[in-house]
Amino acid sequence: MALEIKSIKGTADVLPSDSYKWQFVERKFLDTARKYGFGEIRVPTFEDKRLFIRSVGDTTDVVQKEMYTFTDQGGRELALRPEGTAGVNRAVIENGLINGALPVKLSYAISCFRAEKPQAGRMREFHQLGMELFGSPSPSADAEVIAFVSEFFRLLGIQGISLEINSIGCKECRKNYHAALKSYFEARKDQLCETCLERLDKNPLRILDCKNPECHEVAKDAPVVLDYLCDDCKAHFEGLKKRLDALGVQYTVNPRIVRGLDYYVRTVFEFVSSDLGAQSTVCGGGRYDGLIKSLGGPDQPGIGYAMGVERLLMVMKAQGIEIPAPAPCDLYIGSIGEDASVEALRLCDILRKEGFSAECDIVGRSVKAQMKYADKIGARFSMVLGDNELAEKKASVKNMATGENTEVSLDGEPLKAFLYNAGLDDLSDSLKGTLGGILENMGTSPAPEVKE
């Protein structure tokens, strides 16, 4: 029978064969972030639609074309979050974090939603790792978050990712730049798409970020923002470069980077990879000094970024970076009969509580089928319990890699010695002790200390 209900286009299931890779990257990110003083924050999946309009900008593609919006039962206009910065800024204001000790340093691992055309590295539900830092106007803050990303890529073993930086100035110095852009594009109106024609009066800077090939070609010869920076913005940008040089972070100045969201000022940056084809940006961010104030909070500066988990994993795969797979099942305990089945389940429970992977039959398979299953799940060792094993307190342990079988006494002291003598030294010391402890749970005397 054909499946009637399938996943929505632009979404994807992450199966156990891949989910451990996601967990590895997310844990590595959050653990490293804590070392830099960034605590994890979790914000709602949906927010008041006005939050994104006021922060992301009503002239952006995100707001005009890509947001998933809906009206709830109370008549509220809501939106699934298209990015993380706006929600974190709202949370920082609402929970009073910005009124405490500064800087406020936050990290997150979230899912986001945009109604974009699905393609490699660009999904309608996608996942981001990000950081936001509030309360510091210094280029040192910019350098710290950028240096973190560079170090994170190094820790993952990723190579060949290039950092591109730019400054788009503050609101004051951008006025002259906007005027220059408007004049330039006015003379070329007949070459612009309809969306960019609408942007021409409201925000000509957005034209530089248009994905339309014709608009992109026209924008190549547009005025460069670095030529219009005020003295303070020039000093800030030079300060950033000085600090990146001191940290040994290599970069290229790309005056065409503007980023796609309206809240950015001064520093903007992207980490790009040649392993992603057209979707080359792995990580992007920048400074947003006026955003907190525009959302009703105090006038505090901020800077942040986000990187796509899907794209990150694509780069790692392209570069042949192996992500460590989870440890296989340590011990599969097969069983014959009701009493043996109960005992196998109890022994597995003991092992699991000690942090080990143990499996037993819960389906009612034959012994042959149980052993086939043990092989399929990659069990390192297997043991079969039946009435005789329970009565005699002896069982045969099989090394699944070599096929070697060894009879083990379950009647007390010999068990721990067996774990050494049977060539099971690849088991952790803790598991050795745990298996020895099984004897105590079976009502036998403790295993003796074995001298190496």
Q: Which residues pair with 163 in a beta bridge?
A: 271
pLDDT for res 235? 97
Confidence of residue 59 (pLDDT cuts 50, 70, 90): low
Domains of the chain, by residue range, sit at 16-170+230-318, 331-441
pLDDT for res 60? 72
Confidence of residue 279 (pLDDT cuts 50, 70, 90): low
Q: Hey, what amino acid is at 400?
A: M
pLDDT for res 1? 62
Q: Hey, what amino acid is at 232?
A: D
pLDDT at 451 over 60: no
340: Cα within 13 Å, side-chain hemisphere? 22
Question: Among 142-156, 204-218, 318-332, which is the least confidently predicted range?
Answer: 204-218
pLDDT digit string, tens, across residues 85-101: 999 999 999 999 999 99
Report the run of H or E that residue 33 belongs to, with start and end: helix 16-35
Question: Among 28-37, 40-49, 338-347, which is the least confidently predicted range?
Answer: 338-347
Name residues whose C-beta falls within 8 Å of residue 210's C-beta, 6 or more positions apart in sequence: 193, 195, 196, 199, 216, 219
In 10 A of CB 443, how many CB atoms?
Answer: 7
pLDDT at 449 over 70: no
Q: Which residue has the higher pLDDT, 120 or 188?
A: 188
pLDDT at 371 over 60: yes
pLDDT at 370 over 80: yes
Retrieve residue 288's tokens: 């947003």
> CB–CB of 118/10 below 8 Å?
yes
DSSP letter string, 168-237? ---HHHHHHHHHHHHHHHHTTGGGS-HHHHHHHHH-GGGGGG---HHHHHHHTTSPPGGGG--HHHHHHH
pLDDT at 417 over 70: no
> CB–CB of 73/279 below 8 Å?
no
pLDDT for res 261? 74
> CB–CB of 76/48 below 8 Å?
yes
> CB–CB of 258/166 below 8 Å?
yes
Listed residue (238, 204, 235) closest to 219, CA to CA = 204
Report the run of H or E that residue 342 belongs to, with start and end: helix 338-353
Listed residue (357, 350, 371, 363) closest to 428, CA to CA = 357
pLDDT for res 442? 46
Percentage of the chain modeled with pLDDT above 70: 89
Mean pLDDT for the stretch of residues 96-125: 90
Report the run of H or E that residue 243 belongs to, with start and end: helix 231-247
For 16-170+230-318, which CATH class? Answer: alpha beta
Which range, 100-114, 168-182, 262-276, is most confident?
100-114
pLDDT at 192 over 80: yes
Complete edge-to-edge strand list for the sheet that includes strand 69-71: 46-48, 77-80, 69-71
Name the pTM for this structure: 0.83
| Mean pLDDT over each residue of the chain, to the nearest integer | 86
pLDDT at 177 over 90: no
Q: How many Å apart are CA 382 and CA 347, to the nearest integer?
A: 13
Question: Among 13-27, 106-120, 152-166, which is the least confidently predicted range?
Answer: 106-120
pLDDT for res 118? 79
Mean pLDDT for the stretch of residues 424-430: 49
pLDDT digit string, tens, across residues 326-346: 888 888 999 999 999 998 898
- Reply yes or no on domain 331-441 having CATH 3.40.50.800: yes
Q: CA triplet 390, 392, 397: central angle to 5 degrees?
A: 70
Confidence of residue 368 (pLDDT cuts 50, 70, 90): very high
pLDDT for res 165? 96
> CB–CB of 280/113 below 8 Å?
no
Retrieve residue 78's tokens: 């809501």
358: Cα within 13 Å, side-chain hemisphere? 19
